[in-house]
Amino acid sequence: MPPTPRRETPSGSFLLKHDGPDIVYGKHVFTEEIMSLQFIKMAWIWLAQKKWACRLIVKFGLFVLLFLVITMPNPWLTVKQIAAYIDIEALLNPDFPQMKEINAAIDARLPLHSTFNEEYQTIVKFVYDSIRYEFDWDNWQNSEYWPSAVDVWQRKREDCDGRAILAASIFRSRGYSDATVVASLRHLWIKVGNQELMGPDKEKLMIVEKGKKHFLLPSLNYMLESFADQLYYYPLSRMVLILCGSLILLFHPHKSSILFLTLLATANFGLILIVDWSRYVSYYGQMKLTLGFIAGSLLMFASIVTAWRPQWCRIILCSRKLNIHKTEIS
């Protein structure tokens, strides 16, 4: 075999001539694209050679990692959020240094001999005016994060959970020691005495009373409504990334690029139909399973099952062709 022709590069290494992308040898310098493709190919083959149980464990771990990176990209905030779920009382701080300034501003808005309702309305309006509404995924990059009252006041922007935490802290600083937070699947608000403030939801998931959390089971209809709300407001790009990553893990170790791209397009079209349904539910405020939701769910389900077991699709197609052939013969 004749030697492979080569030419010297300006850096002094030698470049082998071949049909694919240029690879610089001598100093073993590879382009990032080629290295990435080679690594993916090697990982794909390595995993395909493992037993199904090993593949299942690795794929599950990769999915969890993918889900966390996309939905909760800041690991430190994720740890703090877990701590908040365990002890939400730690977030309510009526004694942080800026609280005197906050109460002075609230007192300046209150009339003399104000009633509780007037004080409540003033506190809530002060929180709404001072803290601009912003979703957690825009504000903190994580999909869900409950900050402390200090963090809310310093950042000056938050969604319902941060506003409720700050408001409950303000109420406690003004003598309402029973002020606490109440949570549903899609909202956080506060409870002072027997009154629930800041837009209470129609069903509760968690109530904090005397430092102890009590959990309630919401109805199926409400869970679907909350699911629709989350889909409506959640970034579509993140959902698409999760869906595409899931399909890749399910499709492995198969290699048909045409089939995979077809499944990818079908699943994403189904996702768009479901998101469109969520807009309908959020806009009209009523739960209704539309034709778009049913079609989108079926498309996503078919894509996921086919990615998991593409041979089933081939068996069905072959059976149909065989039946058509028998019909033509008869």
Tell me, what's the pLDDT at 281?
87
* CB atoms inside a 10 Å sphere around CB 103: 16
- Quote the tokens at residue 183: 């949570």
Alpha carbon distance 78, 146 (integer Å): 10
- Are 220 and 227 contacting, i.e. CB atoms less than 8 angstroms apart? no
Bridge partner list, 29: 24
Alpha carbon distance 249, 252 (integer Å): 6
At CA 180, angle to CA 179 and CA 182, rounded to 5?
A: 140
- Are 264 and 244 contacting, i.e. CB atoms less than 8 angstroms apart? yes
Residue 277 CB-density burial (10 A; 0-12 exposed, 13-18 middle, 19+ buried): buried
How is residue 24 annotated by DSSP? E
Distances (CA, A) of 7 to 1, 10, 25: 19, 10, 11
DSSP assignment of 173-238 equals HTT-TT-EEEE-SS-EEEEETTEEESS--SS-SEEEETTEEEE----HHHHHHHHHHHHHHS-HHH
Domains contained in the chain, CATH given: 6-69 (no CATH), 74-218 (3.10.620), 223-329 (no CATH)
Tell me, what's the pLDDT at 293?
92
Alpha carbon distance 117, 10 (integer Å): 79
- Are 139 and 159 contacting, i.e. CB atoms less than 8 angstroms apart? yes
- Cα 243 to its chain centre, rounded Å, is 11
Tell me, what's the pLDDT at 329?
55
* CB atoms inside a 10 Å sphere around CB 236: 12
pLDDT in tens, the chain (330 residues): 455 444 444 444 434 444 444 444 444 444 666 666 676 778 777 777 878 888 889 999 999 999 999 999 999 999 999 999 988 899 999 999 999 999 999 999 998 888 888 999 999 999 999 999 999 999 999 999 999 999 999 999 999 999 999 999 999 999 999 999 999 999 999 999 889 999 999 899 988 777 677 888 888 888 988 999 999 999 999 999 999 999 999 998 888 889 899 999 999 999 999 999 999 888 777 778 889 999 999 999 999 999 988 876 655 545 555 455 545 555
Q: Which among 217, 214, 215, 213 has a CA at the least distance from the CA of 90? A: 213
Residue 304 CA neighbour count, 13 Å, CB half: 12
Report which residue type is found at 72: M
